[in-house]
Amino acid sequence: MTSIAFIGLGVMGYPMAGHLARAGHAVTVFNRTAAKAEAWVAEYGGQSAATPALAAAGADVVLTCVGNDDDLRQVTLGPDGALAAMQRHALYIDHTTVSASIARELAAARGDLHVLDAPVSGGQAGAVAGKLTVMCGGTAEAFAVAEPVLAAYAKRTGLMGPAGAGQLTKMVNQIAIAGVVEGLAEAVNFALAAGLDAASVFDVIGAGAAQSWQMDNRAGTMARGEYDFGFAVDWMRKDLGLVLDEARRAGVTLPVTALVDQFYGDVQALGGRRQDTSSLLRRFRP
């Protein structure tokens, strides 16, 4: 049994922490909304702590899954932050999608910890099913220590390079997704406008070169105007902002990504801030 602190019980962190508890680990949770932590304890056992520091004290592994750079800095380096309270040689894993710069900052904050930046892909459904993909940045030693922990909710893990490499890999992931979802939105809109049966169309072309995870899982729901599948437009815009900032620093142009980011801004203006990323179709069919 491993002593684990899990900080951040949002739509991803709540089920991920649950998988750790079900795997037999001793889990202490912290969440800014204490009622959420209490609900988690009622469902999975373990215990909750009043601060990130109290959750992290004495833990073998500390994990965070919060909102953005500012949230992460608060729960790790702020007053009552987790990092200062961690015991020497413990493992710290951050699952938040944040900038590569804060990932490197946290990796350098204490030289006596194993640290991984480890953003995930798979969305809320993947977190609930325990089938996330985890992209890690850090040392090979830290990754080896982390693999048995990550196995509780990951279908695939990979060490992508040194600190920050996990976050950079997640940026590649979001670049690829943005272009695919926009292309699918245009395809669904065209099929409907042409009077075609969308289900039949995507059943046929989904067996060919046009196939993608997004087509398999979202073409039908998009055609029905259903957009309640987890990863919200607000979070995608946050992620794409990180991507575009990093691209500017690297001198890389991302014209399609920048355009799709603007399109998500249109969806926000239509009231779709909490709808999932497939709601790009709303630009054509509000």
Predicted pLDDT of residue 230: 79
Helical (H) or strand (E) element with 172: helix 165-193
- Asked if residue 1 has pLDDT above 80, the reply is no
Predicted pLDDT of residue 157: 98
Helical (H) or strand (E) element with 133: strand 132-138
The model's confidence at residue 78, banded by pLDDT at 50, 70 and 90, is very high
Phi, psi torsion values for 196, nearest 5 degrees: -85, 155
238-260 pLDDT, tens digit each: 999 999 999 999 999 999 999 99
Predicted pLDDT of residue 17: 98
Examine the residue annotation and report whether 131 is marked as an active-site residue of this protein: no
Cα–Cα–Cα angle for 275, 239, 254, rounded to 5 degrees = 115
DSSP 58-99: T-SEEEE--SSHHHHHHHHHSTT-HHHHSPTT-EEEE-S---
Strand partners, 91: 61, 114
What does the pLDDT average to over 20-24?
98
| CA-based end-to-end distance of the chain | 51
The model's confidence at residue 47, banded by pLDDT at 50, 70 and 90, is very high
Report the b/e string of 86-108 with b at 16+ CB within 10 A: beeebbbbbbbbbbbebbbbbbe
Q: What is the mean pLDDT of the chain?
A: 97
Report how far residue 184's alpha carbon sits from residue 280's, in angstroms, rounded to the nearest whole number: 9
Active-site residue (options: 131, 155, 170, 238): 170
Q: What is the reported pTM?
A: 0.95
The boundaries of every CATH 1.10.1040.10 domain in the chain are: 168-283
Nearest CA-CA partner of 92 in 44, 26, 136 = 136
- Asked if residue 282 has pLDDT above 80, the reply is yes
Report how far residue 240's alpha carbon sits from residue 245's, in angstroms, rounded to the nearest whole number: 8
Does 3.40.50.720 match the CATH number of domain 3-161?
Answer: yes
The boundaries of every CATH 3.40.50.720 domain in the chain are: 3-161
For CA atoms 247, 231, 21, 54, give the dihedral sign. Answer: positive
Predicted pLDDT of residue 135: 98
Strand partners, 133: 121, 156
The model's confidence at residue 158, banded by pLDDT at 50, 70 and 90, is very high
Predicted pLDDT of residue 42: 98
114-130 pLDDT, tens digit each: 999 999 999 999 999 99
113 near 92, Cβ under 8 Å? yes
Predicted pLDDT of residue 139: 98
Three-state DSSP class for 255? helix
109-114 contacts, C-beta under 8 A, 24 or more apart: 109/76, 109/77, 109/83, 110/83, 110/86, 112/88, 113/83, 113/86, 113/88, 113/89, 114/89, 114/90, 114/138, 114/139, 114/141, 114/142, 114/145, 114/146
- Asked if residue 51 has pLDDT above 90, the reply is yes
Does 1.10.1040.10 match the CATH number of domain 168-283?
Answer: yes
